[in-house]
Structure 1
Amino acid sequence: MPGLSKTNIPSLKQIYSGKVRDCYAVGDDKLLLVATDRISAFDVILGDPIPGKGKVLTALTNFWFEKLKDVIPNHLTGIAPETVVKPEEIPQVAGRAVVSKRLKPILIECVARGYIIGGGWKDYQATGEVCGIKLPAGLRQAEKLPEPIFTPAAKAELGTHDENISYERVVEMYGEKVASTIRNATLELYKRASEYALTRGIIIADTKFEFGLDENGNVLLMDEVLTPDSSRFWPADDYQIGTSPKSFDKQFIRDWLEAQPWDKRPPAPKVPEDIIEKTADKYREALRRLTGTDIEP
Structure 2
Amino acid sequence: MAKYKALSEAFIPELPNYYQGKVRENYDLADDRRIIIATDRISAFDRILASIPLKGRVLTQTARYQFEKTADICPNHVLEYPDPNVLVCRKLEILPVEIVVRGYLAGTTSTSVLTQYKAGKRQMYGFTLPDGMQDNEKLPRAIITPTSKAFDGAHDEPLTADDILRQGLLTPQQWEMVSDYALRLFERGQAIAAERGLILADTKYEFGTDKDGQVVLADEIHTPDSSRYWFADSYRAGQRPVSFDKDFVRNWVVERCDPYKDDVPEIPEDVIDATTKVYVQAYETITGNSFDAGDASVDPLERIRGNLRSYF
Contact 1:52 1:295 in 2 (8 A): no
Q: Secondary structure at the match of 1:225?
A: coil
Contact 1:55 1:295 in 2 (8 A): no
Residues 1:105 and 2:99 aligned together: no
**1:44, 1:167 → 2: CA distance?**
28
Q: Secondary structure at the match of 1:77?
A: strand
Residues 1:295 and 2:297 aligned together: no
Partner of 2:231: 235
Q: Which runs of 5+ in 1 are unaligned?
A: 82-93
Q: 1:123 to 1:262 in 2, by over 3 A?
A: closer
TM-score w.r.t. structure 1 length? 0.91
Greater shift, 157-166 or 204-213, is seen at 157-166
State the Cα distance separating 1:95 from its structure 2 match. Answer: 0.4
Q: Secondary structure at the match of 1:208?
A: strand
**1:37, 1:244 → 2: CA distance?**
27
Residues 91-240 of structure 1 aligned to structure 2 (within 5 Å): 94-118=83-107, 119-125=112-118, 126-172=120-166, 173=168, 174-240=170-236
Greater shift, 200-209 or 267-276, is seen at 267-276
Count of residue correspondences? 283
* One-letter code aligned to 1:58: T
Root mean square deviation of aligned Cα: 1.5
Partner of 1:272: 268
Q: 1:222 to 1:41 in 2, by over 3 A?
A: same
Contact 1:71 1:189 in 2 (8 A): yes
State the Cα distance separating 1:14 from its structure 2 match. Answer: 4.0
State the Cα distance separating 1:138 from its structure 2 match. Answer: 2.3
TM-score w.r.t. structure 2 length? 0.87
State the Cα distance separating 1:136 from its structure 2 match. Answer: 2.8
Contact 2:253 2:259 in 1 (8 A): no
Q: Which runs of 5+ in 2 are unaligned?
A: 295-312
* One-letter code aligned to 2:124: V
State the Cα distance separating 1:266 from its structure 2 match. Answer: 7.4
Residues 24-63 of structure 1 aligned to structure 2 (within 5 Å): 24-46=27-49, 48-63=50-65
**1:279, 1:160 → 2: CA distance?**
27
**2:20, 2:242 → 1: CA distance?**
31
**1:223, 1:208 → 2: CA distance?**
10
Q: Secondary structure at the match of 1:163?
A: coil
**1:59, 1:207 → 2: CA distance?**
17
Contact 1:45 1:268 in 2 (8 A): no
Between the two proteins, what is the percent identity of the paired residues?
40
Partner of 1:5: 8
**Would you identify which runs of 4 or more consecutive aligned residues in structure 1 move more than 4 Å?**
none
* One-letter code aligned to 2:189: A
Q: Secondary structure at the match of 1:146?
A: strand
* One-letter code aligned to 2:91: R
**2:262, 2:86 → 1: CA distance?**
28
State the Cα distance separating 1:279 from its structure 2 match. Answer: 1.2
